[in-house]
Amino acid sequence: MRRRPVVLGIESSCDETCAAVAAGPQEIKAHVVASSLTQHAAFGGIIPEIASRAHLESIVPVVDEALCRARTAARRLDAVAVTQNPGLIGSLLVGTSFARALSAAWELPLFVVDHIQAHLYAAFIETPLRYPFVGLVVSGGHTALYKVSALGRQAVLGATRDDAAGEAFDKVAKMLGLGYPGGPPIERLAEHGRPHAYSFRCTCDGSDFSFSGIKTAVLYKVRELEKRYGKLDHAVVCDLCASFQEAVVNDLVAKAVRAACRHKIKDLAVGGGVAFNGYLRRRLREAAAAAGLVLTIAPRPYCLDNAAMVASLGCRLAHEKNS
């Protein structure tokens, strides 16, 4: 195998069918995403059966498109990498079966990649990787803090006890009639609201996370306001979004920075769909600078589910196996 392996990455854990080609962990040649999101819109969340069927329809064209955009023929690939877990079982099955078939047909090694690890290492697609680092993953299904000392060597410092951060954004958005996914509309409306209009707080101490209490607090506040004033007007919805976002961001930033300081680790990496949030990114930057930490946040195109992070981590795994 060449020193910098060329890897085809496939990701199908939720509603996005994704393929990417990487020629090394920091060289993404192409990445393609086909989302079935609009097919789920009427249901207010992802319907697993619809997602699996959409993956079946999209997987061949998406992989073809990634290879075509990367100008890479199958014979120039060194390995295939695929997300195996966690995710929707039917969706994962489409990606893993297809990747296994390609690996067998093209006689290429197959690397199975953990979705959460891929989110974590996405922070280092454009920035050189240095160990050790403290990693924060904030996605729709997971909120977790890790101490990472080498590839595959990490300790969980904290994890969510109930709803993940993204899940809380999605549930609060649903309460406010803002649609799915909830992160983008909440972030947009929060820009016009007052972050201290309502006092919401994440109550979980230590390094674990809990966002279910804050979600319920928003629900009670919405009910109280509706009872008093009827349908909520735009300014009130903006205030609710800003106050909710403030509480979640305060908690994420404080716990990530505290973990790095407590473990005397200078590098802090952040990835996952919620890391797309501009307010979180700004607050992380400010807090890291104040604490003297080196912060790396996944570049925005690699925050939400994508196969570039899978191909990139696949390159790291392939390199390690061959060194």
Residues of the shown chain interacting with ligand KG4 in the complex, contacts defined by CB under 6 A: 14, 119, 139-141, 166-167, 169-170, 181-184, 187, 272-274, 276-277, 304-305
Beta strands in 115-249 (DSSP E): 133-138, 143-150, 153-159
**Separation CA 297–CA 286 (nearest Å):** 13
Query: Cis omega before residue 181 (within 30°)?
Result: yes
Shortest reach from residue 183's CB to ligand KG4, in Å: 2
Q: How far is the CB of 121 from Zn ion (least distance, A)?
A: 13
Q: Residue 224 has which token pair?
A: 């109280």
Q: Helix (H, G, I), strand (E, B), or coil: what is residue 111?
A: strand
Nearest by Cα to 172 from 87, 88, 237? 237
End-to-end CA distance of the chain: 10
Q: Does 239 bind Zn ion (CB under 5 A)?
A: no
Contact with Zn ion (CB under 5 A) among 139, 143, 160, 312: 139
Q: Decide whether 85 or 149 has the Cβ nearer to ligand KG4.
A: 85
Backbone angles phi, psi at 52, to 5 degrees: -60, -45
Nearer to ligand KG4, 88 or 108 (CB): 88
Q: Closer to Zn ion by CB, 12 or 139: give it.
A: 139
Binding mask 187-206 vs Zn ion (x if CB under 5 A, - otherwise)? --------------------
Percentages helix, strand, coil for the chain (3-state, rounded to 5) are 50, 20, 30
Binding segment toward Zn ion, per CB under 5 A, in 138-146, 191-199, 253-261, 312-320: 138-146
Q: Which is nearer to ligand KG4, 240 or 265 (CB)?
A: 240
* Nearest-angstrom CA–CA distance, 66 and 75: 15
Where do runs of H (alpha helix) occur along 153-233?
165-175, 183-190, 212-229
- 140 vs 213, which CB is nearer to ligand KG4? 140
- For the chain, give the number of residues: 323
**Cβ nearer to ligand KG4, comparing 103 with 243:** 243
- By beta-carbon proximity to ligand KG4, the closer residue of 148 and 178 is 178
Q: Quick one: how far is CA 312 from the chain centroid?
A: 15
**What is the pattern of x (binds Zn ion, CB under 5 A) and - over residues 288-317?**
-----------------x------------
Find which of Zn ion, ligand KG4, none residue 166 binds, CB within 5 to 8 Å per kind: ligand KG4
- CB contact at 8 A, 194 and 242: yes
User: CA 117 to CA 309: how far, in whole Å?
Assistant: 9
Q: Does 212 bind Zn ion (CB under 5 A)?
A: no
Question: Considering the complex, what minimum distance in angstroms separates the CB of residue 178 from ligand KG4?
Answer: 10
Compute the least distance from the CB of residue 302 to Zn ion, in Å.
11
Q: Which does 181 bind (CB under 5 to 8 A by kind): Zn ion, ligand KG4, none?
A: ligand KG4
